[in-house]
Amino acid sequence: MICLVLGLFAGLFQSACSRANERTFVAIKPDGVQRHLVGEIIRRFERKGLQLVGLKLLQVRGPARPAPLLPGLGGPLVPRGPGWSKARAAPQAPALSPPASRLVQPAAATRAADPHRPHQSKAISLLEASEELLKEHYIALRDRPFYSRLVKYMSSGPVVAMVWQGLDVVKTVRTMIGETNPAESRPGTIRGDFCVEVSKNVIHGSDSVESARQEISLWFRSEELTCWEDTAEHWIYA
Ligand code: ADP
């Protein structure tokens, strides 16, 4: 009887939280987002058999780019492209000038405007995304000549931050991403297929289990990660 109960408990626990529980941090960089590669990249990891356990779109704000407010919504708007200087010059201008298509409305503003959603401002990581996050993320490269350019590039547009889970996921994701320099990345890898320059290389993936742990805790709160039963797991793992 005890064995049966223990067996049932173990089975329940296993199905709720995968045995293949290594996790890695992945970020689709601003060039990857602007070039509409988000779906393609997620598709590759999903089709490989990896499990998505965390996902958010965020815009890291640099010190010289305070976000103007959109009247009525109470949330910042993050301008994109050439419309930015106009928006800064006339923050009092009525909403949607420059055109709405030039502005990325972050989750914060959307939530505040949506009457069906409870207001949960504390859960909006977007508001916390400062350049300090990027400096910390790339702290190991702080003495490299491209460090400040790298931080600027990463704050030049929205980033999609993700946590993926699976067996040997850190190594697997790095293999699928390719080499740091796209020119050395094989066709079939993400950098091998979608970019040409090291300074615009579309995607980041943790390079070790330890750095994955640190990067996940830097970018995500524990409650932003979802442990869910992947019903395809039996077809992926023995
Ligand atoms: P990876 O992203 O493959 O782990 P690194 O950690 O060495 O590579 O570098 C972090 C990021 O810094 C790279 O993805 C790339 O965006 C940028 N970078 C690396 N080397 C250079 C370089 N020589 N010039 C410009 N940017 C670079």
Closest atom of ligand 1 to CA, residue 140: 6
Domain that holds residue 93: 65-123
**160 and 200 together in one domain:** yes
Residue 3 falls inside a structural domain? no
E strand spans, 92-157: 103-104
Buried b / exposed e over 131-149, threshold 16 CB at 10 Å, is bebbbebbeeeeeeeeeee
Residue 7 falls inside a structural domain? no
**152 and 233 together in one domain:** yes
Kindly report the CATH number assigned to the domain that includes residue 220.
3.30.70.141
**86 and 52 together in one domain:** no
Q: Considering only CA atoms, which residue is closest to atom 13 of ligand 1?
A: 180
Question: According to the annotation, is 29 in a ligand binding site?
Answer: yes
pLDDT of residue 118 exceeding 60: no
Which residues, at least 6 apart from 153, have a Cβ–Cβ distance to it below 8 Å?
A: 29, 30, 31, 199, 200
Residue 185 falls inside a structural domain? yes
Dist CA 58 CA 127 (whole Å): 9
Q: Considering only CA atoms, which residue is closest to atom 8 of ligand 1?
A: 180
Given ligand 1 and candidates 150, 159, 203, which is best to mutate, with the most ligand atoms within 8 Å of its CB? Answer: 150
Given ligand 1 and candidates 135, 146, 147, 174, which is best to mutate, with the most ligand atoms within 8 Å of its CB? Answer: 146
**176 and 118 together in one domain:** no
Look up residue 195 and give its two tokens. Answer: 């970019």
Contact 114, 69 (CB under 8 A): no
pLDDT of residue 237 exceeding 80: yes
Q: What band does 86 get if pLDDT is binned at 50, 70 and 90? A: very low
Last residue of a domain, one of 90, 108, 123: 123
**90 and 146 together in one domain:** no
Q: Kindly list the protein residues whose Cβ atom lies closer than 6 A to any atom of ligand 1.
A: 141, 146, 150, 180, 198-199, 201, 204, 207
Last residue of a domain, one of 77, 102, 123: 123
Closest atom of ligand 1 to CA, residue 204: 2
- Would residue 204 show up in a list of annotated catalytic residues for this protein? yes
Residue 73 falls inside a structural domain? yes
**158 and 181 together in one domain:** yes
Q: What is the per-residue pLDDT for 100?
A: 32
For residue 199, report the distance from its CA to the centre of ligand 1, in Å: 7
pLDDT of residue 72 exceeding 70: no
**108 and 201 together in one domain:** no
Residue 4 falls inside a structural domain? no
Look up residue 20 and give its two tokens. Answer: 């293949």
For residue 210, report the distance from its CA to the centre of ligand 1, in Å: 19
**133 and 24 together in one domain:** yes
**138 and 195 together in one domain:** yes
Short-list 109, 161, 153, 146, CA closest to 131: 153
**155 and 53 together in one domain:** yes
What does pTM read for this prediction?
0.73
**What's the total number of domains in the chain?**
2
pLDDT tens-digit series, residues 142-159:
999 999 999 999 999 999
Contact 126, 58 (CB under 8 A): yes
Contact 22, 167 (CB under 8 A): yes
What's the mean per-residue pLDDT of the chain?
77
The count of other CB atoms within 10 Å of the CB of residue 18 is 20
Q: What is the per-residue pLDDT for 103?
A: 32
**164 and 101 together in one domain:** no
Short-list 237, 169, 126, 131, CA closest to 21: 169
**56 and 71 together in one domain:** no
Residue 9 falls inside a structural domain? no
Rg (CA), the chain: 20
Dist CA 207 CA 175 (whole Å): 10
Residue 224 falls inside a structural domain? yes
Amino acid present at 23:
R
Amino acid present at 148:
S
Last residue of a domain, one of 87, 102, 123: 123
- Report DSSP state, residue 186: P
Q: Which helix (H) or strand (E) holds 209?
A: helix 209-219
Q: Considering only CA atoms, which residue is closest to atom 17 of ligand 1?
A: 199
Q: What is the per-residue pLDDT for 16?
A: 45
Residue 5 falls inside a structural domain? no
Dist CA 22 CA 20 (whole Å): 6
Look up residue 201 and give its two tokens. Answer: 């290389």
pLDDT tens-digit series, residues 7-36:
454 444 444 455 589 999 999 999 999 999
pLDDT of residue 82 exceeding 60: no
Question: According to the annotation, is 180 in a ligand binding site?
Answer: yes
Dist CA 213 CA 58 (whole Å): 20
58 in helix, strand or coil?
Answer: strand
Q: What is the per-residue pLDDT for 128?
A: 60
pLDDT of residue 49 exceeding 50: yes
